[in-house]
């Protein structure tokens, strides 16, 4: 599904290489986790996959279902089925959640040549998802992420994911700022959403989240390279000993 081949990425402003030859292949249905110390390039990787400005790809390639992902615009990538749950979800004052969700969904459908969803079907769909994630009516009426707590924002990200039905999901430090209850809710949302045709890339500092979202593969990212790959036990090992073994 997603194939990253010897990717090298620098920051646009200061010619500093952050990702220094990273290869990773993700098949449908797989959960991959990337762990690493601060500054190892985790966030850069998710930004480059989503298409954020400010990075230069020095060499290497990223293909998604056979297509050169690096040439696609941000919104095209979204329509192809790539979704990123933000570490710090953005506030958009004055834009209601429902308006935002509907615009996003129908923009994607339009890009894919599908018909737009009518209001009644849309409402029904959103309601069902919100209920599962215990997102209140009051929260849905608010502008996007404005006045929401950290936990509410993260649940809102998961709601967007469930609605947009992507094929490939990047969870960028989704566990940061979550208490145990919120983490359980978010994980439940992710697990319910998983299927044999969907893949996940979970980026995290801590092993904690991986108790709830159990990865098939754990990769250790240090200084822009994957230095070790294993199963969930590798994450437990890191939790115990830290990253010093890999430095």
Q: Torsion angle of alpha carbons 126, 84, 27, 24, nearest 10°?
A: -170
Kindly calculate the radius of gyration of the chain based on its CA atoms and give it in whole angstroms. 18
Binding site for another protein (CB under 8 A): 50-53, 73-75, 77-79, 83-84, 86, 89-90, 92-96, 98-100, 102-105, 107-108, 111, 116, 119-120, 123, 126-127, 130-131, 137, 140-143, 160, 164
54: nearest Cα among 16, 85, 20, 6: 16
135/210 with CB nearer another protein: 135
Cβ pair 197, 28 in contact under 8 A: yes
Least distance to another protein, CB of residue 82, Å? 8
Least distance to another protein, CB of residue 203, Å? 15
Three-state secondary structure call for residue 219: strand
74/247 with CB nearer another protein: 74
Least distance to another protein, CB of residue 211, Å? 28
Q: How far is the C-alpha of 108 from the C-alpha of 181, rounded, in Å?
A: 32
Cβ pair 33, 219 in contact under 8 A: yes
Cβ pair 212, 180 in contact under 8 A: no
31/83 with CB nearer another protein: 83
Least distance to another protein, CB of residue 124, Å? 9
32/77 with CB nearer another protein: 77
146/214 with CB nearer another protein: 146
Cβ pair 55, 47 in contact under 8 A: yes
């Amino acid at each position: 599904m997603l194939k990253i081949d010897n990717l090298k990425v620098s920051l646009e402003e200061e010619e500093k290489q952050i990702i220094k030859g990273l290869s990773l292949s993700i098949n449908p249905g797989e959960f991959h986790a990337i762990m690493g110390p601060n500054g190892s390039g985790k966030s850069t990787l998710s930004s480059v996959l989503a298409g954020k400005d400010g990075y230069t790809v020095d060499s290497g390639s990223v293909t998604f279902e056979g297509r050169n992902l690096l040439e696609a615009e941000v919104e095209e990538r979204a329509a192809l089925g790539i979704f990123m749950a933000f570490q710090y979800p953005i506030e958009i004052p004055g834009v209601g959640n429902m308006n935002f969700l509907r615009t996003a969904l129908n923009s994607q459908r339009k890009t894919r040549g599908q018909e737009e969803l009518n209001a009644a079907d849309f409402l029904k769909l959103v309601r069902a998802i919100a209920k599962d994630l215990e997102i209140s009516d009051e929260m849905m009426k608010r502008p996007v992420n404005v006045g929401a707590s950290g936990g509410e924002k993260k649940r809102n990200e998961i709601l967007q994911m469930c609605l947009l039905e992507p094929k490939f999901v990047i969870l960028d430090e989704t566990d940061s700022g979550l208490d145990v209850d919120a983490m359980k809710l978010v994980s439940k949302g992710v697990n319910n959403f998983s299927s044999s045709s969907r893949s996940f890339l979970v980026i995290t500092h801590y092993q904690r989240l991986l108790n709830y979202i159990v990865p098939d593969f754990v990769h250790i990212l240090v200084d822009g390279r994957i230095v070790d790959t294993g199963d969930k036990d590798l994450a437990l090992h890191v939790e115990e000993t830290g990253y010093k073994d890999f430095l």
